[in-house]
Chains A and B, each alone.
Chain A
């Protein structure tokens, strides 16, 4: 683990800037402009402006969440005892490992910024491939916070309950499939750890 702060290192700064405004960024930028142009052509000025204003409202809500979520992920990255992780959800953890990972996914608070940041930490801390898939599948399909905030008000409590019921097996099935898949998995990692093959 690097203990010297890298802020004054010009190579580090260049890399951060490249990550921020690299090809991926411009691809998204072009997509946004293109979709805006299509929307303007088909729906007119007023609708386009309303959508942009709505985007602005969403951004102000999203921004603090992303900052808090990334702070949490960065702290966990250095606080998490890696050996405990591989013990709980490593490749020797069996079915129990999948259940633990799925339960963790269900209770992970926050949106994708926190779940994916934590997933990246887990991936480089010794969790096995099945547990990673079980975790993110449970977060996506069974996240309790999402069910309470979105399913219940939008579609009713009865529907929410049915959806929980039929989704409960999904993380485990997906995790078992993941363990059987005969393909190589390489996970992108931090500078210090490089890539890890699972």
Chain B
């Protein structure tokens, strides 16, 4: 069992004890669980399968050519766009980031890519955000955070002008 899951299980145990001591009615709690489970899980199955295929089809090596140091700040929009396109969890996103890093992507481009992916990963929006919070929330959030990958990337670019600190050492 991973650490993340272990923490969640412990948290669940604490909450169960609390609910039991406060004599909460478990009927509505179970009902809410079932409602959210029904919204999430069937879509999750299909989205996961689709995401696996899409990640395979993205031309990673070609894109890397646009993310190098010589591209400067121009690499940021390309990196941000790539982040939007990866509809998959951290395993695939960070493997792709490592591919980019190995083929010479700049630190600023990597920061932009990861930030864009973490904010806009399409699978997360489609599986969790829209079903649980609705399209109005998605539109509102997108407007609020659309500039964030560029803010992070530009800050990383400025740091890079001053010092070489922070360069990625990708795994092989």
Q: Which residues of A contact B (CB under 8 A)?
A: 1-7, 12, 15-17, 19-21, 24-25, 28-29, 31-32, 34-36, 38-39, 42-43, 47-48, 51-52, 54-55, 58-59, 62, 64-79, 109-114, 116-117, 119-120, 123, 129, 132-133, 136-137, 140-141, 145-146, 149-151, 153-156, 158-159, 161-163, 165-167, 169-170, 173-175, 177-178, 181, 183-188, 190-191, 195
Nearest residue, chain A, Cβ from B132: A120
If A69-B8, A78-B28 touch, whether A54 touches B52 (CB-CB below 8 Å) is yes
* Number of CB contacts from chain A to chain B under 8 A: 298
Interchain Cβ contacts under 8 Å between A and B, 7 examples: A5-B28, A52-B52, A109-B4, A149-B4, A155-B97, A167-B115, A178-B144
For residue A50, give the distance in angstroms from its CB to the closest CB of chain B.
Answer: 9
If A38-B53, A47-B56, A109-B7 touch, whether A79 touches B15 (CB-CB below 8 Å) is yes
Q: Which residues of B contact A (CB under 8 A)?
A: 3-5, 7-9, 11-12, 15-16, 18-19, 22, 24-25, 27-50, 52-54, 56-57, 89-91, 94-95, 97-98, 101, 107, 110-111, 114-115, 118-119, 124, 126-134, 136-137, 139-141, 143-145, 147-148, 151-152, 155-156, 159, 165-171
> Which one of B49, B89, B144 lies within 8 Å of A174 (CB-CB)?
B144
Is the Cβ of B43 less than 8 Å from the Cβ of A28?
yes
Among A34, A112, A156, the most chain B Cβ lie within 10 Å of the Cβ of A112
If A159-B168, A162-B165 touch, whether A78 touches B19 (CB-CB below 8 Å) is yes
- Inside 8 A of B128's CB, which chain A residues have their CB? 112-113, 116-117
